[in-house]
């Protein structure tokens, strides 16, 4: 079987998108998704997204990490699938879609920038070494005072990601450094089991962390990732964070066809 795929990236976080209007893919086949995401034997990506029809919303997004498992919300993946839907003329400049954590609104501007509405955040758990914040996916935010470029993200992130306190599902680990008006972010992503160039839900968690001690009000926080700059907008009301929007570019990379018999070993 020849599988028609589309490749998109959002600040370096890259995704294979499969249009379920064109194909049915067995999303219970973890091995297939692993091989498609493999950068040596497949297409290569941090994750795979299924674009699915929905009777109520413009579409449904089903996201899988590169380990082949159905995953929680992906902010960069959400912005990528919105750009895909727009490129395919499934939507206009605005849309409403369903993801694993609920309903999301999105707006696309004329310069490939997508504003993605994220879920409200209320519960923030402080640990002795960081902050646990769920932004559609669970994140652990670790403030770094020294040069963030010197952090061994893979080694430290992997060790924390599998700690007993975060069982049974584990957690994404974010290393954040505040400098001037920017937050510098590096993320170890569970399911990818590696550092990625960017993480959208991690950027939201880091932006909220940066305002924990600030007064109530409206905030726009630029987040510098390895793959580019994201901006997180939100309203802070006591310990409740609402009207959260993740802003950044998403771009088409290429499309192609791959013979599934060639990627299943």
Catalytic residues: 74, 199
191 with 69: CB under 8 angstroms? yes
Task: Decide the pairing of beta strands 172-179 and 138-143.
Answer: parallel
| Number of C-beta neighbours around residue 40 at 10 A | 6
Residue 118, Cβ neighbours under 10 Å: how many? 27
Cβ(60)–Cβ(44) below 8 Å? no
Q: Supply 159's token pair.
A: 């060790």
Asked if 130 and 142 touch (Cβ cutoff 8 Å), the reply is yes
Outline where 142-259 has alpha helix (H).
Answer: 153-161, 200-210
> How long a stretch of residues is the chain?
265
Neighbours of 22 (CB within 10 A): 13
Rounded CA-CA distance 147/192 in Å is 24
């Amino acid at each position: 079987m020849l599988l028609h795929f589309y490749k998109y990236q959002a600040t370096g976080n890259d995704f294979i998108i499969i249009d379920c209007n064109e194909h049915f893919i067995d999303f219970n086949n973890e091995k297939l998704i692993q091989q498609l995401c493999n950068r040596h034997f497949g297409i290569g990506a941090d994750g795979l997204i299924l674009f699915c029809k929905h009777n109520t919303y413009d579409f449904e997004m089903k996201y899988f990490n590169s380990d082949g498992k159905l995953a929680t919300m992906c902010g960069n993946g959400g912005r990528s699938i919105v750009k895909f839907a727009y490129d395919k003329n499934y939507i206009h400049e605005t849309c409403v879609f369903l993801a694993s954590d609920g309903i999301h609104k999105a707006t696309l501007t004329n310069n490939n920038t997508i504003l993605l509405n994220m879920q409200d955040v209320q519960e923030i758990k402080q640990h002795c070494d960081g902050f646990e914040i769920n932004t559609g996916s669970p994140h652990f935010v670790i403030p770094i005072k020294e040069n963030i470029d010197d952090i061994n993200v893979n080694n430290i992130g992997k060790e924390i990601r599998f700690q007993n306190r975060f069982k049974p599902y584990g957690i994404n680990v974010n290393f954040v450094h505040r400098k001037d008006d920017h937050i510098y972010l590096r993320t170890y992503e569970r399911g990818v089991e590696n550092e990625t160039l960017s993480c959208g839900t991690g950027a939201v968690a880091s932006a909220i962390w940066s305002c924990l001690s600030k007064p109530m009000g409206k905030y726009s926080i630029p987040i510098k990732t390895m793959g580019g700059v994201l901006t997180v907008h939100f309203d802070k009301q006591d310990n409740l964070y609402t009207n959260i929007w993740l802003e950044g570019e998403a771009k088409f990379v290429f499309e192609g066809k791959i013979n599934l018999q060639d990627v299943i070993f």
